[in-house]
Structure 1
Amino acid sequence: MSLQMKLAAITLDCPDPPALAAFYQQATGFEPHPKSDADFAGLNGEGGLLIGFQRVDDYRAPHWPDQSVPQQLHMCFRVEEDLDEAEARLLELGAGKPDHQPHEASKARVLTDPAGHPLCIVPG
């Protein structure tokens, strides 16, 4: 008999939980969790998924693809609009774009959130 599990939450370490939650809220449209505060902020996503952001003192951002500070987490998001439009919007919101792009530009883009976590956007 296999264990049946459903992913309920993903939590990212960061220096400023409310700021990182605001970035992802604008990017995803997820609703803020009502018990968010300065040390832990959350967003309620589809199917009951919570994306959480927890304050970590002396946080060290990953430097993708360099593993001197490992990436820690890598999320991928499907986007309905053109990848160029989605990338431009995320960059306006504060995302970064590393020079190293391992995929063809039409298949996926690697960006970093404002705390340095890598994230991919892929066509929907």
Structure 2
Amino acid sequence: MTLRMKLTAITLDCADPQALAAFYARATGYAMHPRSDREFAGVTREDGLFLGFQRVDGYRAPRWPDGSPPQQSHLDFTVDDLDEAEAVLVRLGAGRPEHQPGGDRWRVLTDPAGHPFCLTLH
């Protein structure tokens, strides 16, 4: 028997779930989950994939690329234009680490809670 699983949610730790959900809603166009609150918030893609954010006391943002504390996970998003996408996301509150190993192929940004995420060409 082959086990079939469907990914339905990804959840990231953070200090302010509602603020982080709002950032990703603006960045992706996904809908804010209607039951988002101070402890847990999220956004939902049209096909049902849920990106959640849970509040953690004493949250420490990952430091990329040195790994102290480690990133533990990151998200990748495809875009049509790296420069344009980066500019929009920085205006929305993303950070741009100095270390950029992807050259013209991909970019590393950080969300407002410090989680690294990558932009790759579509």
TM-score of the pair, normalised by structure 1: 0.95
Could you list the runs of 4 or more consecutive aligned residues of structure 1 that deviate by over 3 angstroms after TM superposition? none
Native 8 Å contact 1:77 1:121 kept in 2: yes
How does 1:55-66 map onto structure 2 within 5 Å? Answer: 55-66=55-66
The separation in 2 between residues aligned to 1:69 and 1:2, in whole angstroms, is 37
Quick one: which amino acid aligns to residue 119 of structure 2?
A: I
What is the match of residue 71 of structure 2? 71
The separation in 2 between residues aligned to 1:94 and 1:32, in whole angstroms, is 17
The separation in 1 between residues aligned to 2:72 and 2:92, in whole angstroms, is 22
What is the match of residue 101 of structure 1? 100
What is the match of residue 6 of structure 2? 6
Give secondary structure in 2 for the equivalent of 1:92: helix
Q: Which runs of 5 or more residues in structure 1 are unaligned?
A: none
How does 1:103-122 map onto structure 2 within 5 Å? Answer: 103-104=102-103, 106-122=104-120
Give secondary structure in 2 for the equivalent of 1:48: coil
Q: Displacement of 1:67 after TM fit?
A: 1.4
Deviations 1:18-64 (A, max 9, x none): 00001000000000111111110011114210000100000000001
Quote the sequence identity (%). 65
Native 8 Å contact 1:72 1:117 kept in 2: no
The separation in 2 between residues aligned to 1:28 and 1:46, in whole angstroms, is 11
Are 1:27 and 2:30 matched, yes or no? Answer: no
Quick one: which amino acid aligns to residue 64 of structure 1?
A: W
What is the match of residue 39 of structure 2? 39
Q: Which runs of 5 or more residues in structure 2 are unaligned?
A: none
| Count of residue pairs the alignment pairs up | 122
The separation in 1 between residues aligned to 2:94 and 2:46, in whole angstroms, is 22
Q: Displacement of 1:101 after TM fit?
A: 1.0
Quick one: which amino acid aligns to residue 101 of structure 1?
A: Q
TM-score of the pair, normalised by structure 2: 0.96
